[in-house]
Amino acid sequence: MRWDRAPNGTSSKALKKDRAYRLVYECANDCIDGVNSLYGCNGQSIESAHLRSKTPAHESIQKHILRCAFESEPDKHVQKPRAALHELLGQRLDYTGGATTVVPFDEGKVSLPDGLVNPVDLKTVLPADARDILKPERLLADEDVVAFRQSNDPITIYTDEVLKHNKSKRFNFFRMLAQRGLLGLTRRRRGTVSPFFVKKKKGQQRLVLDCRAVNQLFRRPRRPEMGPAESAQRMQTPPQAKHVMKPRRI
């Protein structure tokens, strides 16, 4: 695909936008070169391709690849690590008793399971009524609801700076997840989650996934009758109050 679009002005903002579009076209052309190579096209036939008219099938393929390349470009507006963590965890920011700190990816410090993880098939352990709740038609929100959320509450997901800018370390991280059975392949992407890391005790790193954008695809869960355990940590009583908590048999 040729880049024949003239810059929309000479300002720094216009030139920056033009460079971003050029990068998308370069990425799309790299994908097309890879497809041609897999198909077995030689260099001479590729160089003379512009002499032949494109078919509707070629145009459709190029548009699809260009759209995928554009959608894969990371959002340039990225929050500061502390602000992103506060938005993700909210009141649970200090759930370990101290300030939680976002840290850059360090392969030797990330806390992950040892060896291959064999997930449990929930259909084999849950009762029938619980399995019914986990059906996709019960979990996923209606398309118009999803469109409204994405339009009125757009999400900018946060990504670890090291993984975002270092392709080699990003692929190594993906390999770590795949070797443990935590990462697989799909032909159709419904949403995007993004990894980052927070500091654990003894210098280790906890993997956190920013799933806010994907959560917009699901129905709002029903509120449980019992509050979460962390709510007991935030209970406060006046100093002069004399309350006694007694266990209750349920």
In tens, the pLDDT along 213-233 reads 999 999 987 776 676 666 676
Same domain, 24 and 85: no
Same domain, 96 and 196: yes
Please identify, among 55, 72, 89, the residue that sits at the C-terminal boundary of a domain. 72
Residue pLDDT, tens place only, 121-154: 888 888 888 888 888 888 899 989 899 988 888 8
Query: What is the rounded average pLDDT of the residues 98-106?
Result: 79
Same domain, 102 and 207: yes
Give dist(CA 12, CA 150) in Å, integer: 30
- Number of residues written out for the chain: 250
pTM, full prediction: 0.53
- Asked if the structure places residue 27 within a domain, the reply is yes
- Residue 108 lies in domain: 81-221
Same domain, 86 and 178: yes
Token pair 């670890």 is found at 160
Which one, of 149, 153, 121, 151, lies nearest residue 219 by Cα? 149
Same domain, 151 and 190: yes
Count up the domains in the chain and report the number.
2
- Let me know: does 207 contact 180? Beta carbons within 8 Å: no
Same domain, 161 and 39: no
Same domain, 62 and 97: no
Bridge partners, residue 19, by sequence = none
Highest mean pLDDT among 84-88, 120-124, 174-178: 174-178
- 5 CB-side CA count, 13 A: 16
